């Protein structure tokens, strides 16, 4: 077995970078298969329209729990073994969701799908650990591109599969994929034994002190929480909006979701620009793009072709804003510490995924109460809040962060 100790001079191979990117994409996709299937799943398991947001929210809550209590284990437990265990949990949960006849069982399985899928956030900092300082932004950007492609392709793939074989089929297919991926990673991943060893209780208690002592972590997490909240709100509600206002079938919704994949191109570009010290500019730009993405579809709400085209454009630009800012933020955070990288990543991801869970939950409520008009207004407000907070950032701390 290869025991990787990782140094500032080590460089990750292209093969390993590709494997980690593909693995992250396949794993993260599990969180989003249900997003464009809210309608058929809701009807099959007996949920109301107002409660339909739980289909997505519960999975994200499980992901947040895993980020807080599982990902920190990557700082004390051999990473390959932890990866295999969590993937097996994810596969078992996917299989349970595939055959769940009622809402309580499906939602419970969804919770554990989220918990098991946090292994993606063990692999992303693992990639940063294996890379040298000068290539870290590019490596994180490329691996995150794989993760984001998985997220974005999950929605259209789920809709296409559902149109052919029903919504349960996508969960069966994903179970098979995750089992195969588990076998591959157990062979290909190098061994990483973190040092020094810390007791789990002390590790979890350290999360509070880490969050309190690192303002860059808090800021980056809150920026992304607002953007990801808007992102989750959009993708939770837009399938219902497309079906109700434009009469789209699952195939039509799948093609719409496929357009959003174009937003993944922002991740590697942002990673390269962040390596050149453009973090502040990229962050502000991402927030402005997110605001405009929602503002235009709020102002020009109708059932016209023009409104539909705006929805397509907004799907791309919103995804670009979220993915670009995510890569920039992760590069800053991975530079804050080496031995605590798992905890740093876990805290960051937990906070912004909590924002996503809130966005999904609010989306279901707002669409029931005020339709697309209220939903798109809330979607506009969320990145505005991030932008206002960003404007309070001190120049000195920003410059320091951008250099890291």
Residue 5 lies in a domain: no
Higher pLDDT, 398 or 113: 113
The closest alpha carbon to 352, from 338, 367, 333, belongs to 333
Helix residue ranges, H only, 131-192: 136-165, 168-188
Angle between helices 305-334 and 215-246 (to 10 degrees): 160
Q: Phi first, then psi: what are they for 276, rounded to 5°?
A: -95, 5
Residue 257 lies in a domain: yes
- Tell me how far apart the alpha carbons of residues 308 and 310 are, in angstroms, rounded to a whole number: 5
Q: Phi first, then psi: what are they for 48, rounded to 5°?
A: -80, 165
pLDDT beyond 90 at 323? no
Could you report the per-residue pLDDT of 226-236, keeping only the tens digit for each?
999 999 899 88
Q: For residues 352 and 228, is the Cβ–Cβ distance under 8 A?
A: yes
3-state secondary structure of 280: helix
Provide the domain limits for residue 226.
14-198+207-399
- Tell me how far apart the alpha carbons of residues 212 and 206 are, in angstroms, rounded to a whole number: 10
Mean pLDDT of 174-184: 96
pLDDT tier, 86 (very low <50, low <70, confident <90, very high otherwise) = very high
For residue 188, the domain's CATH number is: 1.20.1250.20
The predicted structure's pLDDT at residue 339: 61
Residue 358 lies in a domain: yes
Angle between helices 200-213 and 54-69 (to 10 degrees): 100
Tokens of 123: 């692999």
The predicted structure's pLDDT at residue 260: 72
pLDDT tier, 10 (very low <50, low <70, confident <90, very high otherwise) = low
Could you report the per-residue pLDDT of 348-384, keeping only the tens digit for each?
888 988 898 899 889 878 998 999 999 999 999 999 9
pLDDT beyond 80 at 267? no
DSSP 23-85: HHHHHHGGGTTTGGGHHHHHHHHT--TTTTTHHHHHHHHHHHHHHHHTGGGGGTS-HHHHHHH
Residue 7 lies in a domain: no
The closest alpha carbon to 195, from 404, 2, 1, 6, belongs to 6
Mean pLDDT of 262-276: 75
Beta bridge partners of 3: 191
pLDDT tier, 404 (very low <50, low <70, confident <90, very high otherwise) = very low
Tokens of 98: 């595939």
pLDDT beyond 60 at 1? no
The long-range contacts involving 53-58, CB below 8 angstroms and separated by at least 24 positions, are 53/236, 53/360, 53/361, 53/362, 53/363, 53/364, 53/365, 54/107, 54/361, 54/364, 55/106, 55/107, 55/110, 56/232, 56/236, 56/360, 57/357, 57/360, 57/361, 57/364, 58/107, 58/110, 58/111, 58/114
Residue 9 lies in a domain: no
Residue 161 lies in a domain: yes
Q: What is the mean pLDDT of the chain?
A: 85
Mean pLDDT of 72-84: 88
3-state secondary structure of 191: strand
Residue 307 lies in a domain: yes
Q: Phi first, then psi: what are they for 251, rounded to 5°?
A: -65, -45
The predicted structure's pLDDT at residue 337: 66
Residue 306 lies in a domain: yes
The predicted structure's pLDDT at residue 210: 86
* Cα distance from N-terminal residue to C-terminal residue, the chain: 33
Our count of domains for the chain comes to 1
Gyration radius of the chain over CA positions:
20
Could you report the per-residue pLDDT of 208-219, keeping only the tens digit for each?
888 888 898 999
Mean pLDDT of 249-261: 82
């Amino acid at each position: 077995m290869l025991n990787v100790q990782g140094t500032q001079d080590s460089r990750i191979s292209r093969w390993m970078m590709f494997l980690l990117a593909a693995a992250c994409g396949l794993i993260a996709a599990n969180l989003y298969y249900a997003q464009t299937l809210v309608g058929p799943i809701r009807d099959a398991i007996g949920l109301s329209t107002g409660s339909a947001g739980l289909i997505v929210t519960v999975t994200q809550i499980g992901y947040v729990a895993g980020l807080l209590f599982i990902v920190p284990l990557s700082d004390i437990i051999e990473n390959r073994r932890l990866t295999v265990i969590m993937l097996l949990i994810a596969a078992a949960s996917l299989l349970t969701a595939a055959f769940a006849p009622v809402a309580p069982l499906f939602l419970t399985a969804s919770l554990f799908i989220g918990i098991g899928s946090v292994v993606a956030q063990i692999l992303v900092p693992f990639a940063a650990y294996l890379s040298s300082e000068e290539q870290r932004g590019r490596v994180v950007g490329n691996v995150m591109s794989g993760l984001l492609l998985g997220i974005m392709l999950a929605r259209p793939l789920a809709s296409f599969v559902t149109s052919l074989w029903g919504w349960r089929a996508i969960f069966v297919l994903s179970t098979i994929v995750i089992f195969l991926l588990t076998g591959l990673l157990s062979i290909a991943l190098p061994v990483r034994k973190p040092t020094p060893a810390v007791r789990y209780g002390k590790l979890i208690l350290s999360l509070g002190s880490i969050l309190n002592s690192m303002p860059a972590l808090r800021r980056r997490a809150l920026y992304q929480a607002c953007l990801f909240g808007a992102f989750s709100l959009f993708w939770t509600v837009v399938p219902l909006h497309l079906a109700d206002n434009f009469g789209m079938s699952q195939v039509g919704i799948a093609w719409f979701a496929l357009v959003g994949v174009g937003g993944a191109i922002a991740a590697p570009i942002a990673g390269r620009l962040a390596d050149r010290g453009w973090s502040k500019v990229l962050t502000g730009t991402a927030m402005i793009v997110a605001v405009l993405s929602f503002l235009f579809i709020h102002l020009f709400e109708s059932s016209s072709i023009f409104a539909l085209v705006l929805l397509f454009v907004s799907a791309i630009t919103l995804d670009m804003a979220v993915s670009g800012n995510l890569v920039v933020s992760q590069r800053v955070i991975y530079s804050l510490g080496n031995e605590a990288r798992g905890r740093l990543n876990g805290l960051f991801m937990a906070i912004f995924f909590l924002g996503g869970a809130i966005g999904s939950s609010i989306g279901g409520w707002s669409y029931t109460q005020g339709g697309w008009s209220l939903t798109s207004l809330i979607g506009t407000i969320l990145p505005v809040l991030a932008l206002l907070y960003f404007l309070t950032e001190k120049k000195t701390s920003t410059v320091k962060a951008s250099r890291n």
